[in-house]
Amino acid sequence: MIKIKNLSASIDDKPILKGIDLSIGKGEVHAIMGPNGSGKSTLSYVLAGRDDYEVTGGSATFNGADLLAMEPEERVTAGLFLAFQYPVEIPGVQMSTFLKEAMNSIRRRKGEEELDALSFLKKMKTAAKNLGISDEMIKRSVNTGCSGGEKKRNEALQMAMLEPSFAILDETDSGLDIDALKIVADGVNALRSPERSFLVITHYQRLLDYIVPDYVHVLAHGRIVKSGGPDLAKELEAKGYAEFMQAEEAA
């Protein structure tokens, strides 16, 4: 589904990603772990198409299409979703309005009919209920006046509504207490299916207790330095990232 080959990217001429190779198959959940500054968030932004990052080499395809040539909104239309580490506030725009506009925009791009207000509301109410999001929260402006945990739940809600085929979760666990973490993880697990792939980016192993990955990769200094099964995450939790940091310094 996703094929990343020798991907390099920089921001303000500073190289961050230095040749990433990663293949994610249909229905697979991959986790990327790594120390701060290793390029985890950069990878998620580059895949989602943020302008400030310059791709300097390599390729990324999504179901065979050149992902890097698409505008951010085209990537969404193709089925990519990014749950933000720091969800952005949009004052004055209600979450429900925001979601409806976004979903209809995607539908128009696909040549589909727009959602009618009633079926949209029904769908949103169900999704919100599953994530413990109250009506009052939905009426608030997007992420405005929300706690860290509420923002992450909003991200999960949007993911449930947009039904992506490939979702990237960028440090979804940061800023969450254990109860909120469980709710969000349950939300993600409910979306797991043979048709849907995930890339879970995290610093800590804790999240992977709840969202159990098929593969774990370690990212350090802009490269994937080790790959393995779920056990690798536990190993990292015990030993920390020191080994990989030194490896880079030696090289």
Partner 1 sequence: MSDVLQDLNQLDKMGRQYEAGFETDIEMDYAPKGLNEDIIRLISEKKGEPEWMLDWRLAAYRHWLTMPEPDWAKINHPPIDYQDSYYYAAPKSMNKPKSLDEVDPKILEAYAKLGIPLREQEVLAGVEGAPRVAVDAVFDSVSVATTFKETLKEAGVIFCSMSEAIREHPELVKKYLGSVVPPRDNKHACLNSAVFTDGSFVYIPKGVKCPMELSTYFRMNATNTGQFERTLIIADEGSYVSYLEGCTAPMRDENQLHAAVVELIVHDDAEIRYSTVQNWYPGDEEGQGGVYNFVTKRALCDGVRSKVSWTQVETGSAITWKYPSCILKGDYSVGEFYSVAITNGRQQADTGTKMLHLGKHTKSRIISKGIAAGRSDGMYRGIVKIMPKAEGARNYTQCDSMLIGDQCGAHTVPYIECRNKTAKLEHEATTSKISEDQLFYCRQRGLSEEEAVALIVNGFCREVLQKLPMEFAVEAQKLVGISLEGSVG
The contact set with partner 1 (CB under 8 A) reads 48-52, 71-73, 76-77, 81-82, 84, 87-93, 97-99, 101-103, 105-106, 109, 141, 158, 162
Shortest distance, CB of residue 239 to partner 1, whole angstroms? Answer: 35
By beta-carbon proximity to partner 1, the closer residue of 114 and 179 is 114
Q: Which residues contact 116 (CB under 8 A, 6 or more apart)?
A: none
Element (H, E) at 79: none
By beta-carbon proximity to partner 1, the closer residue of 17 and 220 is 17
147 phi and psi, to 5 degrees? -75, 170
Shortest distance, CB of residue 31 to partner 1, whole angstroms? Answer: 21
The answer to whether the CB of 89 falls within 8 A of the CB of 141 is yes
By beta-carbon proximity to partner 1, the closer residue of 35 and 148 is 148
Q: Which residues contact 190 (CB under 8 A, 6 or more apart)?
A: 130, 160
C-alpha 220, offset from chain centre: 19
Beta bridge partners of 32: 201, 217
- Residue among 50, 88, 38, 26 nearest 202 (CA): 38
By beta-carbon proximity to partner 1, the closer residue of 108 and 129 is 108
By beta-carbon proximity to partner 1, the closer residue of 13 and 231 is 13
Shortest distance, CB of residue 75 to partner 1, whole angstroms? Answer: 8
Half-sphere exposure at residue 9, Cβ-oriented, CA atoms within 13 angstroms: 27
Shortest distance, CB of residue 182 to partner 1, whole angstroms? Answer: 25
Half-sphere exposure at residue 149, Cβ-oriented, CA atoms within 13 angstroms: 13
Shortest distance, CB of residue 126 to partner 1, whole angstroms? Answer: 19
By beta-carbon proximity to partner 1, the closer residue of 84 and 215 is 84
Shortest distance, CB of residue 155 to partner 1, whole angstroms? Answer: 10
